[in-house]
């Protein structure tokens, strides 16, 4: 069976209407290039409100989803594709919705007795002093349903809290205040049931924010992560448990912190990570001997299981 016969006509969904549109376009173009290099009959689809009509008109056999953010990785497009009967890459409806919601993810992890930092939920009626009664400084403020660190702020002094809350609330009606964990940050890329080598992140910024992720050339990515084999394996196993707890499948990423005492804390799960030149899953895959084109095909192969 030829590549084109195996996969059929593939739509690479990218762009979209979320705050992560520009990153999605970069990820989608990189994936499209890799698919074409592998002789896949692939086409770019810059998604708008007429996505259903676009998919119908193109008569696509499957979808490689590279839509970051709301509408793309929160279960919405996944539900539409399920109704259309089009196989697609990545997690299914429930896991996508859970993974996009930082609070629901935490609640699932806590129900499964998995470690994650203490938190407090903020809305437009919340007063800063309420947050400070529950959490000690420093803390990090996050929109509940945004990715790429959009709208996030680290609060070191209590005077910074009102502005941090106001910034995050521009992006969502509810916001998560989370206890800051002092220590090392790691990320685990996941393909199928396997964790890729861990990456330890090091940035000169206050935290691993949007600029550190996508713009800065000073961010350091340590892979190998410099942990001993046993400790790395333990964190990889924790990442897999966290991934499966929310029902995630096919591929994704789990972010963790390890404090000065060696205690791990799950930070978030990403069911649709970036695939840009700064992205972490391709970096970890390379360390495992998987180049970018091979990685893209491994992800596409996950969608064939749905046929």
The Cα 201–Cα 109 span in angstroms is 23
Name the catalytic one among 62, 101, 274, 303.
274
Known catalytic residue at 253: yes
Name the catalytic one among 255, 265, 279, 303.
255
Name the catalytic one among 186, 208, 210, 214.
214
The Cα 142–Cα 180 span in angstroms is 12
Known catalytic residue at 307: no
Name the catalytic one among 27, 72, 268, 303.
268
The residues, any chain, with a CB within 8 Å of residue 234's CB and separated by 6 or more, are 264
Strands 183-191 and 251-259: antiparallel
Name the catalytic one among 20, 73, 146, 209.
20
Name the catalytic one among 91, 270, 279, 303.
270
Question: C-alpha distances in angstroms, 170 versus 119, 156, 200, 274?
Answer: 20, 21, 31, 23
Known catalytic residue at 20: yes
Name the catalytic one among 24, 65, 148, 153.
148
Known catalytic residue at 270: yes
The Cα 190–Cα 196 span in angstroms is 6
* Tokens, residue 279: 């992205």
Q: Would you please indicate which residues are annotated as catalytic (active-site) residues? A: 20, 148, 214, 253, 255, 268, 270, 274
């Amino acid at each position: 069976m030829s590549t084109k016969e195996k996969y059929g006509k593939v739509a690479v969904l990218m762009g979209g209407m979320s705050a992560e549109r520009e990153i999605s376009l970069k990820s989608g173009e990189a994936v499209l290039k890799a698919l074409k290099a592998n002789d896949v009959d692939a086409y770019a689809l810059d998604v708008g409100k007429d996505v259903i009509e676009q998919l119908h008109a193109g008569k696509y056999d499957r979808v490689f989803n590279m839509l970051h953010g709301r509408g793309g990785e929160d279960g919405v497009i996944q539900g539409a594709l399920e109704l259309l009967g089009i196989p697609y890459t990545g997690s299914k409806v429930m896991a996508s919705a859970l993974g996009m919601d930082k609070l629901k993810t935490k609640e699932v992890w806590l129900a499964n007795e998995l470690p994650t930092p203490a938190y407090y939920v903020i809305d437009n009626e919340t007063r800063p002093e309420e947050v400070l009664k529950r959490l000690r400084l420093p803390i990090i403020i996050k929109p509940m349903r945004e990715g790429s660190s959009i709208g996030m702020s680290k609060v070191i002094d209590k005077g910074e809290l009102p502005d941090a809350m106001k910034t995050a609330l521009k992006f969502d009606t509810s916001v998560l205040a989370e206890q800051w964990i002092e220590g090392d940050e790691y990320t685990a890329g996941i393909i199928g049931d396997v964790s890729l080598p861990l990456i330890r992140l090091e940035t000169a910024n206050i935290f691993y924010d949007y600029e550190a992720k996508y713009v800065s050339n000073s961010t350091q990515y340590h892979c190998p992560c410099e942990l001993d084999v046993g400790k790395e394996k333990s964190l990889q196993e924790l990442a897999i448990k966290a991934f499966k707890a929310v029902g995630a499948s096919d591929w994704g990423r789990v972010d963790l912190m390890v404090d000065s005492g060696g205690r791990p804390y799950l930070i978030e799960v990403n069911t649709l990570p970036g695939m840009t030149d700064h992205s972490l899953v391709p970096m970890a895959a390379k360390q495992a001997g998987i180049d970018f084109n091979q990685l893209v095909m491994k992800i596409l192969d996950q969608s064939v299981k749905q046929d």
